[in-house]
Amino acid sequence: MTLEGLLPELAVIRKDFPILERTLAGGVPLIYLDSANTSQKPQVVIDTMVDHLEHHNANIARAMHQLGAESTEAFEAARDKVAAFIGAPERDEVIFTKNASEALNLVANTLVWPGERQVGPGDEIVITEMEHHSNIVPWQLLTQRTGATLRWFGLTDDGRLDLSTIDELITERTKVVSLTWVSNMLGTINPIAEITRKAHAVGAIVVVDASQAAPQLPIDLSAMPVEERPDLLAFTGHKVVGPTGIGVLWGSRAVLDALPPFLGGGEMIETVRMEGSTYAGIPHKFEAGTPPIVEAIGLGAAVDYLAHIGLDAIHAHEKAITGYALEGLRSVKGLTVLGPLDAAARGGAISFELDGVHPHDIAQVLDSRGIAVRAGHHCAKPAHARFGVQSSTRMSSYLYTEPREIDALVEALEYTRSYFKLDRA
Amino acid sequence: MTAQDLDALYQEIILDHYKKPHGKGLREHAGHTAEVHHVNPTCGDEVTLRVHVSDGVVEDVSYDALGCSISQASASVLYDLVVGKSVDEAMAIHQAFLTLMQGKGTVEPDEDVLEDGIAFAGVAKFPARVKCALLSWMAWKDATAQVVAGDGDN
Tabulate helix, strand, coil % of chain B (nearest 5): 55, 20, 25
Minimal Cβ distance to B2: which of A26, A359, A391: A26
Calculate the average pLDDT of chain B.
Answer: 91
- pLDDT digits 0-9 by tens, A161-198: 999 999 999 999 999 999 999 999 999 999 999 999 99
Residue A335: φ, ψ to 5°: -95, 130
Which of A144, A127, A123, A147 minimizes the C-alpha distance to A135? A127
> Angle of helix B69-82 relative to helix B127-149, nearest 10 degrees?
40
Burial of A226 (0-12, 13-18, 19+ CB in 10 A): exposed
Can you tell me the mean pLDDT for B118-137? 91
Residue B44 has pLDDT above 80, yes or no: no
Can you tell me the mean pLDDT for A78-92? 98
Residue A146 has pLDDT above 70, yes or no: yes
Q: Which of residues 368-407 of A touch B (CB under 8 A)?
A: 368-369, 375-377, 381, 384, 390-391
Q: Which runs of E-coded beta strand occur in A112-166?
A: 124-128, 149-153
Residue B114 has pLDDT above 60, yes or no: yes
What are the helix (H) ranges across A1-94?
A: 10-15, 43-51, 66-86
Can you tell me the mean pLDDT for B39-60? 90
A360 contact residues in B (CB cutoff 8 A): 43, 45, 67-70, 129, 132
Q: Active-site residues of A: which are they?
A: 379
CA–centroid distance for B67 within its chain: 13
Q: State which residue of chain A sits closest to B12, comparing Cα positions.
A: A420
Q: Looking at CA atoms only, how far is residue A419 from chain B in angstroms?
A: 10
Residue A296 has pLDDT above 80, yes or no: yes
B45 contact residues in A (CB cutoff 8 A): 360, 390-391
- pLDDT digits 0-9 by tens, A336-390: 999 999 988 899 999 999 999 999 999 999 999 999 999 988 899 999 989 988 8
Alpha-carbon distance A184 to B28, whole Å? 41
The neighbour count for residue B42, using CB atoms within 10 Å, is 12
The neighbour count for residue A421, using CB atoms within 10 Å, is 11
Binned at pLDDT 50, 70 and 90, residue B152 comes out as low
Q: Are A379 and A222 in contact (CB under 8 A)?
A: no
User: Quick one: pLDDT at residue A425?
Assistant: 53
- Are the beta carbons of A358 and B2 separated by less than 8 Å? no
- Are the beta carbons of A25 and B15 separated by less than 8 Å? no
Interface residue ranges in chain B relative to chain A, Cβ cutoff 8 Å: 1-6, 9-10, 15, 42-46, 66-70, 72, 126, 129, 132
- pLDDT digits 0-9 by tens, A29-78: 999 999 999 999 999 999 999 999 999 999 998 778 999 999 999 999 99
- Are the beta carbons of B1 and A381 separated by less than 8 Å? no
Best residue of A30, A185, A353, A361 to probe chain B, by most B CBs closer than 10 Å: A361
Q: Are A112 and A118 in contact (CB under 8 A)?
A: yes
Residue A184: φ, ψ to 5°: -75, -15
- Are the beta carbons of A360 and B10 separated by less than 8 Å? no
Can you tell me the mean pLDDT for A237-258? 98
- Are the beta carbons of B15 and A361 separated by less than 8 Å? no
User: Quick one: pLDDT at residue B153?
Assistant: 55
Residue A395: φ, ψ to 5°: -105, 140
- Are the beta carbons of A376 and B43 separated by less than 8 Å? yes
Can you tell me the mean pLDDT for A318-332? 97
Residue A233: φ, ψ to 5°: -145, 130
Minimal Cβ distance to A390: which of B2, B3, B66: B66
Strand partners, A357: A354
- Are the beta carbons of A390 and B45 separated by less than 8 Å? yes
Which of A155, A166, A108 minimizes the C-alpha distance to A388? A155
Can you tell me the mean pLDDT for A17-33? 96
User: Quick one: pLDDT at residue A62?
Assistant: 77
Q: Say what percent of chain B tops pLDDT 90.
A: 70
Alpha-carbon distance B50 to B30, whole Å? 12
Binned at pLDDT 50, 70 and 90, residue B1 comes out as low
Dihedral angle at the C-alpha atoms of A176, A181, A185, A188, nearest 10 degrees?
A: 120
Q: Looking at CA atoms only, how far is residue B56 from chain A in angstroms?
A: 36
User: Quick one: pLDDT at residue A329?
Assistant: 97
- Are the beta carbons of B68 and A358 separated by less than 8 Å? yes
B70 contact residues in A (CB cutoff 8 A): 360-361
Alpha-carbon distance A193 to A329, whole Å? 31
Angle at A344 between CA A339 and CA A347, to 5 degrees: 55
Q: Say what percent of chain A tops pLDDT 70.
A: 99
CA–centroid distance for A178 within its chain: 14
Burial of A300 (0-12, 13-18, 19+ CB in 10 A): buried
Calculate the average pLDDT of chain A.
Answer: 96
Which of A367, A22, A378 minimizes the C-alpha distance to B9? A367
Residue A423 has pLDDT above 90, yes or no: no
Amino acid at B40: N
- Are the beta carbons of A384 and B44 separated by less than 8 Å? yes
Which three-class secondary structure state does DSSP give residue B58? strand
Burial of A345 (0-12, 13-18, 19+ CB in 10 A): middle
A358 touches chain B (CB under 8 A): yes
- Are the beta carbons of B5 and A376 separated by less than 8 Å? no
Q: Looking at CA atoms only, how far is residue A26 from chain B in angstroms?
A: 5
Pairs across A and B, CB distance < 8 A: 62
- Are the beta carbons of B68 and A359 separated by less than 8 Å? yes
Alpha-carbon distance A325 to A323, whole Å? 5
User: What sign does the CA torsion over B80, B84, B86, B89 have?
Assistant: negative
Best residue of B43, B46, B69 to probe chain A, by most A CBs closer than 10 Å: B43
Residue A238 has pLDDT above 90, yes or no: yes
A24 contact residues in B (CB cutoff 8 A): 1
Residue A1 has pLDDT above 70, yes or no: no
Q: How far is CA A164 from CA A158, A195, A250, A281, in A?
A: 14, 12, 30, 41
Residue A424 has pLDDT above 80, yes or no: no
Strand partners, B35: B50
ipTM for this model? 0.84
Contact partners, residue A272, CB within 8 Å, separation at least 6: none
Alpha-carbon distance B124 to A377, whole Å? 23
B67 contact residues in A (CB cutoff 8 A): 358, 360, 390
Q: Which runs of E-coded beta strand occur in A87-199?
A: 94-97, 124-128, 149-153, 174-180
Alpha-carbon distance A392 to A351, whole Å? 6
DSSP state, A334? T
Angle at A4 between CA A214 and CA A404, to 5 degrees: 85
Q: Are A172 and A122 in contact (CB under 8 A)?
A: no
Best residue of A24, A28, A360 to probe chain B, by most B CBs closer than 10 Å: A360
Best residue of B7, B68, B123, B131 to probe chain A, by most A CBs closer than 10 Å: B68
Q: Hey, what domains does chain A have and what are their CATH numbers?
A: 10-41+310-424 (3.90.1150.10), 47-308 (3.40.640.10)
Q: Which of residues 13-42 of A touch B (CB under 8 A)?
A: 24-26, 28
User: Quick one: pLDDT at residue A378?
Assistant: 87
B4 contact residues in A (CB cutoff 8 A): 26
Amino acid at A278: T
- Are the beta carbons of A376 and B42 separated by less than 8 Å? yes
Residue A252: φ, ψ to 5°: -65, 145
Residues in chain B: 154
